[in-house]
Amino acid sequence: MHIAIALYITIPAFFMLSQYAYAVGDNPEQLAMLMGPFYGKLIFSYLVYIAGAVICYIFAFVKLRNYLYSQLALEGDIRFSSTVTLGRVFWISITNFLLCSVTLFLAWPWAKVRFTRYLLENTYLHGDLSSLPLENHDQQPAKDPANLLARGLSFYPVLF
């Protein structure tokens, strides 16, 4: 849909640009003067395209997360669920982006904590965790970057 809107804006602008080029002939200054609205339409179509891509990404993230958590189960009848909503994730994402833009991304850690807090507040566990059998593994996990990332840790402190 957003691609159709972007094309609806840009295709007529390209035809108008070709008509302007034909009308002014060999005078590049006049052509440059007439191209001002064309650049505005081009930038607007890119913004529409980027906004549509962001909305599609957020939609896919929310729906996929809710589906995966509804299908996740552990032995002992322990189930998970997620009640993340599209509107709230969109609002948090937009306000986080605006705040980070204004603060030159100094608020990035706060924005990540805010988003993670929302995700955690809307993730639920159904069942009794005490029914899970506990196992003691005496081996330490590997410290390579792939294992650190798999456990949710950043490998940057290891490198620096």
Ranges of H-type helices in 25-150: 28-34, 36-71, 86-102, 108-121, 145-150
- The average confidence (pLDDT) of the chain is 82
Query: What 3-state DSSP class applies to 76?
Result: coil
What is this structure's pTM? 0.69
| Rounded-to-integer distance, Cα 62 and Cα 90, Å | 10
Nearest C-alpha neighbor of 50 from the set 97, 17, 13:
97
Give per-residue pLDDT as tens, 109-120.
999 999 999 999
Give per-residue pLDDT as tens, 72-117.
988 878 999 999 999 999 999 999 999 999 999 999 999 999 999 9
pLDDT score for 154? 43
The CA distances from residue 3 to 47, 63, 137, in Å, are: 11, 22, 52
Residue 125, phi then psi, degrees to nearest 5: -115, 125
Tokens for 100, please give them.
Answer: 């980070």
Give per-residue pLDDT as tens, 11-42.
777 777 777 777 777 777 777 777 777 777 77
pLDDT at 156 over 50: no
Task: Tell me whether residue 144 is exposed, middle or buried, using C-beta atoms within 10 angstroms of its C-beta: 0 to 12, 13 to 18, 19 or more.
Answer: exposed
Q: Please give the single-letter amino acid code of residue 42.
A: L
